[in-house]
Structure 1
Amino acid sequence: MQDALLLSLRKPSSTTTFRCNPASHNNPGMFSASTRELKRKTRLSPRAALRLVAVLSAALLFTGIGLTPVSAEESNVVDTRLEQQRRLYVEVRDSLARGSTRLYQRHRDTLVDYPLFPYLEYAALTHRLTLDKRDAVADFLERNEASWLGHRLRTQWLELLYRKREWRQYVDYYRPRLNSVELACHFHFAQYQTGEKQPALEGGLALWTVGKSQPKACDPLFHLLISEQQISNEIAWQRYTLAVQNHKFSLARYIEKFFTNEHYQREAKHYAAVDRNPERVGEYDLLDPALPQTALIIGHGIRHLARSDATQALKHWSRYLQSHQIGDTTKREVLTALVKGLNQQGYDAVAFAYLRDNYAFADIQLLEWQLRFFISQRDWQAIASWYPTLAENVQQQAKWRYWYARALLLHSGNLQDIERAKTLLLELSQHRNYYGFLAADWLGKPYAMQHHTGDVSDAEISALAQQPAMQRVRELLYHQKTYQARREWYHTGRDFYARQWQIAAHLAAQWQWHQQAILSMIRADTWDNIDIRFPLAFQAEFAPFAEQRHLPLPLILAIARQESAFAADARSHAGARGLMQLMPATAKSVADKHKVTLNGVEELYQPQTNINLGTLYYRDLLDQYEGNRFLASAAYNAGPHRVKRWRKQSDSTLTFDAWIEVIPFNETRQYVQNVMAFAVIYGHHLELTQALHTSNERSTLY
């Protein structure tokens, strides 16, 4: 079961709580609770309590640098020194932040073996960074080449070298792996200044020929291209077509000035005309078949026209296929637009016939769209007859095996078909995913969990924990610098292979850094350790609110797991915040409605506040939809207004599984399926009965 967790994470405020950091061994009472005490305090099931004790016991192993056995006396000495270094580190760090290096110079030798010493070095080095520090910068970069701080300092040093016009040094210090358009533009400009003109101009053209505006940092390089007359009509045409396809019309108008040939000037006007009025794609003499990119213009116009008049678009497209050389990519894109347009405009039979005739150019997204269209129309016969003709990679997907079985049961009265459907459902029911749980329900079988812990050893975890980068991560978490810890973690893992990510997941889980444990399991392509992938995180915080609002605890944990992977400081690209990913406007509305004090959006990063408002909002949605979790979950993700529109479109004609399958937004469809399946898994963890659907949800037509 793939996880969709595309999060943009922010640096937490000073009030953000990071739960159970790996340094909590300094609180001697933290791990002293018995299983009975844990159950009493957090309302854990026996299985969950034992699991938590095991995790906390494992965390004790990481109280020092690694797992090397030491005596009690040696451990006390190490702990005392570590605590002294931690306190001193904070003093020196804060002093450097105020612009003073006095404490840093005084305590340098005491802190030199502390894992976060490079952060102090970096702060001292970048305080009034000048060219006089070139030797110190070179030394730091050599020692910290693979670290996030090394990446950060190299970027700052390059920016200084560019400002100071130190071209040779810039070229020497630049690394393509910095992955920055601004730095790449500066690099090619510096190349040019050092006499490496040809590679500089070639690199500059590659950066110029894109379908969007580049940063202002690229302007000096692009001026060089212009002064060196590198932008030919052909190159300008490439960028022009890319800009129009991306609807970057201001950029397209800017590029028009580079056309010195009347032919290109005329074609540019034609392209813009087709984009503004797709019907003009029917003027067959308008576009020159000999001109590069003409096929792209035609495809662009046909795709746009198909949205409003798919039959005319099909007519014009058939004509162009005879007169122009059209690439496979354009054929695939146009096929998708025509099939969707024809279906949506009532020409279902024409659309399906055209798709079958051009199956070779259909991508998997179009095939899935067509299958969902059949589901939305309840055309079970079409699914039952078409499924066996599909490619093996489509047939083997759990969702389409499920819907083939459902179509057979709904359409055919043939005993052989019914037995085939039951066999498919039985096979599906043995897997831990949404469709496996659906199949188990239809057959009246228990859900399969397929839990396997894997074969990661303590020695492997210890070896990873002792790496300098991981020691820095551990200490950053101790100091509640989660943003920096995440940076270190990502930077260190850039070259990890699957096995290393699996080990990293176990290490993060022992630190109770749940988000990184979950994401590391995804990178490892390892799916069956459900203790790590579905941790009982923040249970003590969630449980009272769930009970108070009469919400199933497994369901609320599932929402938080899907929304943020239990990262209290999570912030999405859209601006949603915290464990349950609340939008500020939604949070304020809920707070006002329920008379909850909310002193600014930063409070949404506090678990208690976020869970309080998130559970209130979900309870409101459940009440609005008469307890229907499918509708409430869809509304939580996409908004009640969209759910209202989708229900109007289906007009109470679809079963619950069909309605979920045809949700137009891929994200929301996956969201609802994940939340329902995750709730089943959390029910298993908590030893609570948590069905994928209730009898009312199952009997309702959507």
Structure 2
Amino acid sequence: MLTAAMCGLGHGQAVAQSLNVSDQGDLMRQIKSAYSDGRFSEFSRLAQQLPDNHLFTPYIEIWRFRFFIKGQEKQSPDDVVVWRSEEVLPLLNRYPATWPTEQLRRDWLQQLARAGQWDLYRQQRTELKYRPDQGVECADLYLSAYQGQVNKPALNKVVSSEKRLARTCRTLLKTLYYRDIIQAADLDRHVLHLVADKQVSAATQFVDEMSDTAWGRGIDTRALSNAVDNPDKALKQAKSSGTDLIVATAIARKAIADPAEAAALVQGQYAQRLSESTSRWLWAHIGHRAALLWQPEASKYFSKSSPEAMSGEQMEWRTRAALLQENWPLVLQTIDEMPQELKDNRAWQYWRGRALTATGKTVEARQEWIRAANSFSFYGKLANEELGTTVTAPLKPQPLTQQELERARKNPGLQRALALYDAGLRMDGFWEFNLQIAQMKDRELLAAAAWAERNQLYDRAIAAADKTEAEHDLALRYLTPFRDNLKAKAQEVGLDESWVYGLIRQESRFLTIARSGVGASGLMQVMPATAQYVAKKIGLAGFKNSDITNIDTNLTLGTNYLRMVYDQHGQSPVLASAGYNAGPGRPSAWKRRLGEGRVVEGALFTELIPFDETRDYVKNVMSNTVAYSLLLNNSSTPLKQRLGMIQGSN
């Protein structure tokens, strides 16, 4: 994929030809390595070899600035650092619309918020081109609080975080606590979310950072850690001593393995030791853990809590617990008690429509489905089907003009993204491309997608095409590279080509070198152990694990394995897709949780999948399958019919 983009310039100036394209890519990799490792002398030496005004110059100059600033900050580690405008603004203005610039502005915005420099903050906030990260979101909350406004749903999202918060978010919570906008119970709740997810280090660090507050001084971090590691011992000791938070931490940890035991502790011997707010949090947590295990008692546990005590995730599982029972009045109630941001999710619009129908409110149900209807999403398709609308391919947009394509080809940001990919800096290229398309209109997006496809950046082509709002090109949203090979492999094992394409689009976005965090590789993300098993099973002679990323080999192994999982699960594409992602034994375990004789529709089963990744995976694969069928066959079996019915087992 090495192209002349490596030699392109942001301002159209000629580049010195002392280094060829490949050499420049190698050099940039070395520069990035030196920067990441903090080797400033090596960084400077290598950076001098890059031609002036190169596509990579914004990266070099901003990394150089960060080296300089890091040295200053080390000299005054306890000071509140705020970069001076005269230091940072020239860089931001000189290199607009590049990913390092966006990151630099994000960091500066957080500094400005922590220092209360609101006029400059407001000015720079409008310059962000990409969606804010967690730190900037908390900086926005800072500004709202300064103006006397509190965004409670957004603040609840911060408090409910199960991972270490960005520094600005942690500072925000301390500031709001000092101002009595949030209470000790809210800080307790944040720590409980962390320890429930076994983020002990993040929890103790947060408490240590709050040690200058009355709340922080009252917490023994060693006892907190012990309650996570040995909850039984902590509870035994807590009979005579220990705080509300320590007791709750121990019970929260026990709830993960046995929600019923935790419930007995909350309403039994420790009932008098827990504050009302802590009890409500524990009941939400116990309900959540029970719902993940598909236990019918989950709704009862949730009923002892309140929406104010729940995280967004807990509210969603409260609804799923009601769906498990097919208790439609309760489904309706739990969705209605969600914050607006969750209620606007197409999943809950669809299920609210189903609940309204089940309770005899068909007119309101149709209004809900009209809101949810969409040609591309899982629940958008299901809503369309409930309305009696057949999902069809969108009208093809007018062909892109040469002028539109040429603008995309000459876009310096897109050229820079491609050059980064060519240099082997895939994540830098990924974010650079995303920034460039963030504020594009439909025609620009289609041109960027077409350009990316021609340069074999298939995942970015899909990302650009997915963003269009009015003009949609199905062939760009649902690319079909390697068509002849894939079609032949699917036919050999008797699989629907549309389903295989739908799965690969979700697995790898057609990146042949894609590698997951757990070691899966290639187009169909095949694990080494799985590859060895399938190769032996089908008699693939001479197979080596190094062959996995070969396109033909990967498709052979992936389609054969998918067929095995498909047959293992009664030729249900829902169960097979789930098994391909989560492991072939998992769907069988979930069917046992349903119980023998219970039959539920595929959409409901999919919504109950306890792993977020697998749940979204199945939705996307099945939705993709419909789109690919429309693209390849000009017709499709309705999604609801494809999902079928899932039968429980013993």
TM-score, normalised to structure 2, is 0.65
**1:300 and 2:249 are equivalent in the alignment:** yes
8 A Cα contact 1:591 1:598, kept in partner: no
* Segment of structure 1 superposing worse, 523-532 or 565-574: 523-532
1:286 to 241, 259, 265: 241
Q: Do 1:498 and 1:524's aligned partners in 2 also have CA atoms closer than 8 Å?
A: no
> Do the aligned partners of residues 432 and 301 (structure 1) sit closer, same or farther apart at CA in structure 2, a change above 3 Å counting?
same
Give yes or no for contact 1:147–1:491 (8 Å, CA) kept in 2.
Answer: no
1:673 corresponds, among 619, 632, 636, to 619
Q: Match for residue 580 of structure 1? A: 524
Aligned mates of 1:522, 1:332 — CA distance in 2: 41
Partner Cα distance (2:251, 2:525) in 1: 40
SS in 2 for 1:561: helix
1:381 paired to 2:334: no
Deviation at 1:360, TM superposition (A): 2.1
Count of equivalent residues: 520
Report the alpha carbon displacement of residue 511 of structure 1 after superposing the two structures with TM.
2.8
CA distance in 2, matches of 1:534, 1:338: 41
Give the letter aligned to residue 313 of structure 1.
V
Out of 391, 405, 419, which is 1:447 matched to? 391
- In the TM superposition, 1:266-415 aligns within 5 A as 267-275=220-228, 276-278=230-232, 280-281=234-235, 283=238, 286-287=241-242, 297-306=246-255, 307=259, 308-313=261-266, 319=272, 322=275, 334=282, 336-340=284-288, 347-348=297-298, 350-355=300-305, 358-409=306-357, 411-412=358-359, 414=360
Give 2:67's aligned residue.
174
Question: Structure 1 613/318 Cα, relative in aligned 2: closer, same or farther at 3 Å?
Answer: same
CA distance in 2, matches of 1:452, 1:618: 32
The aligned counterpart of 1:38 is none
> Structure 1 residue 498 and structure 2 residue 439: aligned?
yes
Task: Give the structure 2 partner of residue 628 of structure 1.
Answer: 572
Alpha-carbon distance, 1:574 to partner:
0.8
Match of 1:50 in 2: none
Q: Give runs of aligned pairs for residues 240-279 of structure 1, distance below 5 A.
A: 267-275=220-228, 276-278=230-232
Sort the Cα spacing of 1:311 and 1:678 in 2 relative to 1 into closer, same or farther, 3 A.
same
The 3-state SS of whatever aligns with 1:174 is: helix
C-alpha distance in 1, partners of 2:218/2:645? 62
The residue that corresponds to 1:571 in the other structure is 515
- Aligned identity (percent) is 20
Match of 2:610 in 1: 664
2:476 alignment partner in structure 1? 532
Q: Within 1, Cα distance between the matches of 2:557 and 2:610?
A: 28
Kindly provide the amino acid, as one letter, of the partner of residue 575 in structure 1.
G
Give SS of 1:571's match.
coil
TM superposition shift of 1:576: 0.6
Given candidates 549, 556, 569, the residue that maps to 1:605 is: 549
CA contact under 8 A between 2:397 and 2:471: conserved in structure 1? no
Shift of residue 310, structure 1, vs aligned partner: 1.6
- Mapped to 2, the partners of 1:647 and 1:443 lie a distance apart of 30
Q: Secondary structure at the match of 1:570?
A: coil
Instruction: Tell me: CA distance 1:605–1:394, structure 2 relative to 1, closer, same or farther (3 Å).
Output: same
1:301 counterpart letter in structure 2 = A
Deviation at 1:692, TM superposition (A): 4.1
Change in 2 beyond 3 A, CA 1:331/1:504: farther
In structure 2, what residue type is equivalent to 1:589?
A: Y
Distance in 2 separating the partners of 1:242 and 1:381: 29
Cα deviations across residues 87-145 of structure 1 (Å, max 9, x unaligned)? xxxxxxxxxxxxxxxxxxxxx97x34966664477699999999699678458497459
- Normalization by structure 1: what TM-score? 0.61
The structure having more radius of gyration, on CA atoms, is 1
Task: Check conservation: 1:497, 1:524, Cα contact below 8 A.
Answer: no
What SS class does the counterpart of residue 391 from structure 2 fall into? coil
What's the CA shift for 1:552?
A: 1.3
Distance 1:438 1:139 in 2: 56
Aligned in 2, Cα 1:250/1:198: closer, same or farther, shift over 3 Å? closer
| Counterpart AA for 1:698 | G
Q: In 2 relative to 1, CA 442–607 (structure 1 residues): closer, same or farther, beyond 3 Å?
A: same
Matched, 1:555 2:499: yes
| Counterpart Cα distance in 1 of 2:588 and 2:545 | 28
Return the offset for 1:458. 5.1
- 2:617 partner letter: Y
Corresponding letter in the other structure for 2:327: D
**2: distance between equivalents of 1:395 and 1:435?**
13
8 Å CA contact 1:332–1:363 kept in 2: the answer is no
Q: Does the CA-based 8 Å contact 1:569-1:578 persist in structure 2?
A: yes
Structure 2 CA distance for partners of 1:321 and 1:432, relative to 1, 3 Å: same
Match of 2:644 in 1: 698
Tell me if the contact between 2:521 and 2:527 (Cα under 8 Å) persists in the aligned partners: yes
- Secondary structure of the residue aligned to 2:481 is coil
Measure the CA separation in 1 of the matches of 2:491 and 2:326: 39
Partner in structure 1 of residue 127 of structure 2: none
CA shift, 1:402, in A, is: 2.1
| Structure 2 equivalent of residue 179 of structure 1 | none
- Per the alignment, residue 170 of structure 2 pairs with none
Alignment check: 8 A CA contact 2:283 2:301 kept: no
Distance 2:233 2:329 in 1: 36
> 1:353 corresponds to which letter in structure 2?
S
Bigger mean CA offset, 624-633 vs 639-648: 624-633
Q: Distance in 2 between matches of 1:127 and 1:438?
A: 47
Secondary structure of 2:647's counterpart equals coil
Distance 2:268 2:302 in 1: 16
* Cα distance between partner residues in 2 of 1:435 and 1:589: 36
Displacement of 1:302: 3.9
In the other structure, the counterpart of 2:131 is none
Classify 1:408/1:197 alpha carbon distance in 2 versus 1 (closer, same or farther; 3 Å).
Answer: closer
Which structure exhibits the higher relative contact order, with contacts defined as CA atoms closer than 8 Å and separated by 6 or more residues?
1
CA 1:421 to 1:132, structure 2 compared with 1: closer, same or farther past 3 Å?
closer
- Cα distance, 1:144–1:245 mapped onto 2, change above 3 Å: farther
Q: Which amino acid aligns with 2:301?
A: A
Alpha-carbon separation, structure 1, partners of 2:53 and 2:343:
52
1:683 aligns with 2:613: no
Is the alpha carbon distance of 1:695 and 1:456 closer, same or farther for their aligned partners in structure 2, counting shifts above 3 Å? closer
Unaligned runs of 5+ in 2: 10-14, 84-113, 115-161, 165-190
For 1:122 and 1:699, how far apart are their aligned partners in 2?
A: 53
SS at match of 1:446: coil
1:150 counterpart (51, 60, 68): 60
Partners of 1:309 and 1:672 in 2: CA distance: 32
Tell me the distance in 1 between the aligned counterparts of 2:318 and 2:26: 58
Does residue 595 of the first structure (1) align with residue 539 of the second (2)? yes
Equivalent position amino acid for 1:681 in 2? A
Separation in 2 of the partners of 1:342 and 1:267?
Answer: 29
The 8 Å contact of residues 518 and 533 in structure 1, kept in 2 or not, is answered as yes
8 Å CA contact retained: 1:564, 1:580 = yes
Q: Which amino acid aligns with 1:579?
A: L
Distance in structure 1 (CA, Å) of the matches to 2:567 and 2:581: 16
Cα drift, residue 655 of structure 1: 2.3
Q: Which runs of 5+ in 1 are unaligned?
A: 1-17, 24-61, 67-107, 156-171, 177-183, 214-239, 289-294
Could you tell me how far apart the structure 2 residues matched to 1:506 and 1:147 are?
A: 26
Pair 1:404–1:198, CA change in 2 (3 A):
closer
